[in-house]
Structure 1
Amino acid sequence: MAARTRHVRERGRGDNQLAKLLMSIDERGKIHLHEDAMREISAVREDIAVVSIAGMARTGKSFILDLLTEGRGTFKIGHSQRACTKGLWYCLTEAKIDGRMTPLLVVDTEGLNALDTDATFDATILTLSILISSFFIYNSMGRLDPTSFENLHLVCEIAERVRVRAKVGRGSADDDAFGEVMPHFLWVLRDHQHNLVDERGREIPPQMYLEDALKDERRGRGDVDRRNRTRQALKRMFEHRDLITLVRPLADERDLNAMDRIPESELREEFKEGLQHLKRTIYRHLRVKTLFGDALSGQSLVHIVRKYVDAINTGAVPEIESAWDGVCRREAEKAIEDGKKMYRDGMHAAISGDVRDEHAFSSAEREVRAQVKEHFKHAFVGHLASQFRDAFEAALDQIRGEMHRVWTTTITSRLEDLVRTAAANAVLLLREVEEKVSSGLSANSVGDMIAEVLRTCLGELADKGPLHPSIIDEFFQSGVSSKLATIYARAESRGERRQRELGAAEVERRVRREVEAGRKEARYIPMEVSSESDGVLDAMEVERLRRIDPATHGLNALKGILRDWGVYPIPANRKDIIAAFKRERER
């Protein structure tokens, strides 16, 4: 579990922390977000669940939310007709969802129809609490009757105040879209003293009781059409809905205003059983907050809240899809920038270590890239997620090229400091060969000893990093080539015709080919480098190879030549070997 979730767990459950203000609304109807709350919620980088509650003033809704924080009095209960909750209040805790502990934001709203508020204030409060929730509780007293739907008429306003998607033409794009963004809806009937029965007086379960109550009235007192519009809005907005009833918690109604101070032992058993059933129902249906199938982190939630608030404060209609797209784009762009920095830092650390060749570089790069992608795997959401992932990969590819060039420059510079030492060691060893030439060593033995000296010194150099052709050139030009020329001049003065045919340049060429063969096996970095000696050697090589007829030449001899040229793998049959030989000779 991430550090932020551990922090929530340590201070969020059972320690009687008090709720804090999430946002408030001034007398002009403007919403003000409280930045301390925004920072605390933004720090939650994991997926987050949100439970909020709304209801008429002084219906005991704050007491229900205390269930979720396991602390009596976390959300204060009003002690007068003036509700104590002003705006939206919150408590950050956690809950077990799908088998793992998940950050949970619990939100309480100011009571609807309070004496000091108006319909616009209530509509704003209700709109925001529904929009941010993954589980929404509506708390009311008594039974489901016409008055219940009169009190909930603001739901119709929400349906008009919010758009899920932009309108297309004359019709609405929201007809079937609310289910993608709206929370699970739970209607809690408090102080319910009657059995749940249908029109015929038969006892029915709570779910059926709710669905029956949501059927349109055919006739009745008051504004029947308004109540029916409320019913239709509820059914359209909340595809997933439930109902739970709770009996009165105390026999003496005068004690209800002091429930936060009443010992739990004095509450009615039926009420306590109902609370446990309510809690189980909430946790059974509780999920993390999602929009269009994508889960929101605390950071994402804060971004989307800001979008909603900006729209409401400017008198615009909050459009959920466009707001979500804006949040997805903003988070993706930030994730790409953060990911690039994390990748670049990781690569700098990797190449400053023991990365000697291409294989080691590629291995280190794959490891760094995997760590970065794992860290940002949930950063790209929404319908543009694949586009942002592709952009992220392209950005990492570009940085990889930059890091490869940095590494190449670094390792080459390091080798250039070592190449002179390696060349000096080679010259010392070649002096010993020179002395043996003077003492009558055979030509074949001389060639083998020289080749061994060169292999040893270049091999030691290769252990320090990749051998660019430029490094090999510098090695031979640092006194090695001149020493080879001296050795073969002495051999020639002794009349060794074989040595004259080979020459110093030929041995040098042979070792160069061996190095080149290793480079083609991905041990060395490809780099095109030309030198004057290469031109001389190529002319010598062409003249000699023109005389070879591959059709009559020995198979093993042809394989040896191809191996010297760095051809890998060597073909298996004569026909392919001859073809490879001709092709390489033309080069």
Structure 2
Amino acid sequence: MATDLWMPAPICLIENSKGQLTVKQEATEILATVTQPVVVVAIVGLYRTGKSYLMNKLAGQKSGFSLGSTVQSHTKGIWMWCVPHPKKPNHTLVLLDTEGLGDVEKGDNKNDGWIFALAVLLSSTFVYNSMGIINQQAMDQLHYVTELTKRVRAQPSPSTAEVEDSTNFINFFPDFVWTVRDFTLELKINEQPITSDEYLEKALKLKEGTSDEVHTFNLPRQCIHQFFPKKKCFIFEPPTHGKKLAQLEKLHDNELEANFVEQTESFCSYIFQHSKVKMVQGGITVNGPRLQNLVLTYVEAITRGDMPCMENAVLALAQIENSAAIQRALTHYEEVMRQRVQFPTETLQELLDIHASCEREATEVFIEDSFKDVDQKFQKALVIQLEAKRDAFCNQNLNESAQRCRALLQDIFRPLEEGVKQGFFSKPGGYGLFLQKKQELIEKYNQHPRKGIQAEATLQEYLRSKEDVAKTIEQTDQALTAKEKEIVAEQEKAQAAEAAAKQLQELQMRNQERQEQKKKSQLGGVKEVPARVEAEVNRWCKHVRKLF
């Protein structure tokens, strides 16, 4: 039972109104919070037989379940009270008090049989409460037990007419306790004292014979023997007399008959010590949520007009429980994956190794919470969903790697892109310089850690996106280099012409000097300038004219 859950009083679990059984949401919400194993004790009997008093005593309270003090039945449907188990730590005692059977005011008693059947189906200890003695009248009033096979199935059957073996029921039915109230006889046979259990066995003894009368006598007894192998009986003397009976819940123990108080304590002690935890097929322990689902499944079947099937109820419970177990396993897988994976991983294998570890843990979570997983149907479904989760993590890993690499490339290559914008490479030889700088940045990118498995693909994607820029730089470099070579050639030609002109000028100056010297020589009787000098001057003049 949840530590913060405390039920100060019982509430209605299954309402019986206008011939319709309805599960109350408030009660099922409480059951959903009871995570501990439950011991379920249900009490059934004719109205005004004091059932509620015993249930209040089991709850450790003087009041709670309505006792009533008239011939009117107070409890309608099935009421529930969840309390901490007084003798079993970490267990919850669930008490189910049913409306009195055979209430004359109801008019329509068609649901009495279903109330009886639900009490049997939901409990681990079934208490039948009667008044007076166990005689044929008491047995006739217990005719509901003879109708169980008409109202309940242990297993799905291909034929509705098929009669099920009682052994199918024994595996599911609760222990049986008969409480006999206001017993005034002495427990003796042939003047020898007997126990209350021996008294019950004598009352359940079968008659020999095949007549209809014998069959009618034996039928309820046979059903009790077949359906409830473990039986117990408690005898209660009248608690008090007269008008005090109407104030029973207000009386203290010292105001009640001592034997009644002792017998009540003995009954409570037995229930606390010997009532088992509620189990379903396969030895599965029932807790609050499982009991909640059993209630919903059985009442839904009755509402549809079907016979509640115990095995089907367990299968429905398995469907709910195993589906929830799958979700818990998937949640665990996602949580531990997100804790352990550092996106992006350097390799795919690194991610797959983490996945394998988390998958094992998730499978263990499922196996711990699941039950009756026929042919591992739900575990196989879990594997498929885990594979889908793995693929989603792989895609996330790819995306994380690509995003990180794109951001890294933008950061590393930003100076190169700025240089392109500023025309740094728009010069002769700029393309070679561009390639050199790009290679340096690629090496810097490759040395950066934790890029993930998309490192190379993202780099190539980036380089492809810049191919047009590189091509433009290359073409500009080629154009500028050709122009530069043309300019150099022109410059070289100009320099050669300038040198030739200078030489011609020098020759002319020398020729002039010689002419002047010749004149002087003519005046002074000097020999004429040799003819070869004039020939050299004429050759240089032609050369210079050719250059220009």
Determine if contact 2:41/2:123 at 8 Å carries over to the other structure.
yes
Residue aligned with 1:76, SS: coil
Determine if contact 1:308/1:318 at 8 Å carries over to the other structure.
yes
2:256 corresponds to which of 256, 267, 287: 267
Q: Is the alpha carbon distance of 1:7 and 1:418 closer, same or farther for their aligned partners in structure 2, counting shifts above 3 Å? A: same
Task: Give the C-alpha shift of residue 64 in structure 1.
Answer: 1.0
2:2 corresponds to which of 1, 5, 14: 5
Instruction: Give the residue type in structure 2 aligned to 1:126.
Output: F
2:245 corresponds to which of 226, 233, 256: 256
Instruction: Give the residue type in structure 2 aligned to 1:115.
Output: V
Q: Which residue in the other structure is 1:493 paired with? A: none
Q: Which residue in the other structure is 2:32 paired with? A: 42
Q: Is the alpha carbon distance of 1:378 and 1:202 closer, same or farther for their aligned partners in structure 2, counting shifts above 3 Å? A: farther
Q: Considering only aligned residues, what root-mean-square deviation do their CA atoms show, in Å?
A: 3.8
1:52 corresponds to which of 42, 54, 58: 42
Instruction: Give the residue type in structure 2 aligned to 1:5.
Output: A
Task: Give the C-alpha shift of residue 370 in structure 1.
Answer: 6.2
Q: Which residue in the other structure is 1:516 paired with? A: none
Residue aligned with 1:51, SS: strand
Instruction: Give the residue type in structure 1 aligned to 2:182.
Output: D
Q: Which residue in the other structure is 1:84 paired with? A: 74
Q: Which residue in the other structure is 1:175 paired with? A: 166
Instruction: Give the residue type in structure 2 aligned to 1:297.
Output: N
1:26 corresponds to which of 11, 17, 34: 17
2:382 corresponds to which of 364, 369, 392: 392
Is the deviation greater in 105-114 or in 468-477? 468-477
Q: Which residue in the other structure is 1:113 paired with? A: 102
Where do 5+ consecutive residues of structure 2 fail to align?
416-440, 471-548
What is the rounded CA distance, in whole Å, between the counterparts of 2:353 and 2:36 in structure 1? 30
Q: Is the alpha carbon distance of 1:93 and 1:456 closer, same or farther for their aligned partners in structure 2, counting shifts above 3 Å? A: farther
Determine if contact 1:420/1:475 at 8 Å carries over to the other structure.
no
Task: Give the C-alpha shift of residue 261 in structure 1.
Answer: 0.7
2:124 corresponds to which of 127, 134, 138: 134
Residue aligned with 1:318, SS: coil
Q: Which residue in the other structure is 1:232 paired with? A: 222
Determine if contact 1:138/1:185 at 8 Å carries over to the other structure.
yes
What is the rounded CA distance, in whole Å, between the counterparts of 2:133 and 2:64 in structure 1? 28
Task: Give the C-alpha shift of residue 467 in structure 1.
Answer: 7.7
Task: Give the C-alpha shift of residue 75 in structure 1.
Answer: 0.6
Determine if contact 1:163/1:174 at 8 Å carries over to the other structure.
no
Instruction: Give the residue type in structure 2 aligned to 1:283.
Output: F
Q: Which residue in the other structure is 2:546 paired with? A: none
Where do 5+ consecutive residues of structure 1 fail to align?
426-452, 483-587
Task: Give the C-alpha shift of residue 174 in structure 1.
Answer: 3.6
What is the rounded CA distance, in whole Å, between the counterparts of 1:390 and 1:47 in structure 2? 28
Q: Which residue in the other structure is 1:505 paired with? A: none
1:281 corresponds to which of 270, 275, 288: 270
Instruction: Give the residue type in structure 2 aligned to 1:315.
Output: G
What is the rounded CA distance, in whole Å, between the counterparts of 2:373 and 2:213 in structure 1? 43
Give the TM-score taking structure 2 as reference length.
0.69
Task: Give the C-alpha shift of residue 377 in structure 1.
Answer: 4.5
Q: Is the alpha carbon distance of 1:381 and 1:348 closer, same or farther for their aligned partners in structure 2, counting shifts above 3 Å? A: closer
What is the rounded CA distance, in whole Å, between the counterparts of 1:209 and 1:264 in structure 2? 27
What is the rounded CA distance, in whole Å, between the counterparts of 1:39 and 1:459 in structure 2? 59
What is the rounded CA distance, in whole Å, between the counterparts of 2:212 and 2:266 in structure 1? 35
Determine if contact 1:51/1:135 at 8 Å carries over to the other structure.
yes
Q: Is the alpha carbon distance of 1:371 and 1:49 closer, same or farther for their aligned partners in structure 2, counting shifts above 3 Å? A: farther
What is the rounded CA distance, in whole Å, between the counterparts of 1:470 and 1:354 in structure 2? 17
What is the rounded CA distance, in whole Å, between the counterparts of 1:120 and 1:236 in structure 2? 25
Determine if contact 1:162/1:318 at 8 Å carries over to the other structure.
yes
Task: Give the C-alpha shift of residue 69 in structure 1.
Answer: 2.0
Q: Which residue in the other structure is 1:433 paired with? A: none
Q: Which residue in the other structure is 1:241 paired with? A: 231
1:155-554 correspondence runs (5 A): 155-167=145-157, 171-197=162-188, 199-218=189-208, 224-250=214-240, 252-293=241-282, 294-337=284-327, 339-340=329-330, 342-343=331-332, 345-346=334-335, 349-350=338-339, 353=342, 356-357=345-346, 361=351, 365=355, 369=359, 372-373=362-363, 376-377=366-367, 379-382=369-372, 384=374, 386-418=376-408, 460-461=448-449, 463=450, 465=452, 470=457
Instruction: Give the residue type in structure 2 aligned to 1:112.
Output: L
Instruction: Give the residue type in structure 1 aligned to 2:4.
Output: H
Q: Is the alpha carbon distance of 1:188 and 1:363 closer, same or farther for their aligned partners in structure 2, counting shifts above 3 Å? A: farther
Determine if contact 1:23/1:88 at 8 Å carries over to the other structure.
yes
Q: Which residue in the other structure is 2:422 paired with? A: none
- 2:83 is aligned with 1:93: yes
Q: Is the alpha carbon distance of 1:393 and 1:257 closer, same or farther for their aligned partners in structure 2, counting shifts above 3 Å? A: farther
Instruction: Give the residue type in structure 2 aligned to 1:120.
Output: K
Residue aligned with 1:101, SS: coil
Task: Give the C-alpha shift of residue 334 in structure 1.
Answer: 4.7
Larger radius of gyration: 2
Residue aligned with 1:74, SS: coil
Is the deviation greater in 125-134 or in 328-337? 328-337
Q: Is the alpha carbon distance of 1:22 and 1:265 closer, same or farther for their aligned partners in structure 2, counting shifts above 3 Å? A: same
Give the TM-score taking structure 1 as reference length.
0.65
Give the length in aligned residue pairs: 441
Determine if contact 1:141/1:190 at 8 Å carries over to the other structure.
yes
What is the rounded CA distance, in whole Å, between the counterparts of 2:38 and 2:349 in structure 1? 42
1:562-577 correspondence runs (5 A): none
Residues 90-112 of structure 1: per-residue CA shift (max 9 Å, x gap): 11223267x54123321111112
Residues 546-586 of structure 1: per-residue CA shift (max 9 Å, x gap): xxxxxxxxxxxxxxxxxxxxxxxxxxxxxxxxxxxxxxxxx
Q: Is the alpha carbon distance of 1:176 and 1:143 closer, same or farther for their aligned partners in structure 2, counting shifts above 3 Å? A: same
Task: Give the C-alpha shift of residue 149 in structure 1.
Answer: 0.9
Residue aligned with 1:326, SS: helix
Q: Is the alpha carbon distance of 1:377 and 1:45 closer, same or farther for their aligned partners in structure 2, counting shifts above 3 Å? A: farther
What is the rounded CA distance, in whole Å, between the counterparts of 1:148 and 1:104 in structure 2? 29
Instruction: Give the residue type in structure 1 aligned to 2:169.
Output: F
What is the rounded CA distance, in whole Å, between the counterparts of 1:274 and 1:360 in structure 2? 70
Residue aligned with 2:12, SS: strand
Q: Is the alpha carbon distance of 1:26 and 1:211 closer, same or farther for their aligned partners in structure 2, counting shifts above 3 Å? A: same
Identity of aligned residues (%): 24
Task: Give the C-alpha shift of residue 116 in structure 1.
Answer: 1.6
What is the rounded CA distance, in whole Å, between the counterparts of 2:462 and 2:78 in structure 1? 75
What is the rounded CA distance, in whole Å, between the counterparts of 1:366 and 1:282 in structure 2? 49
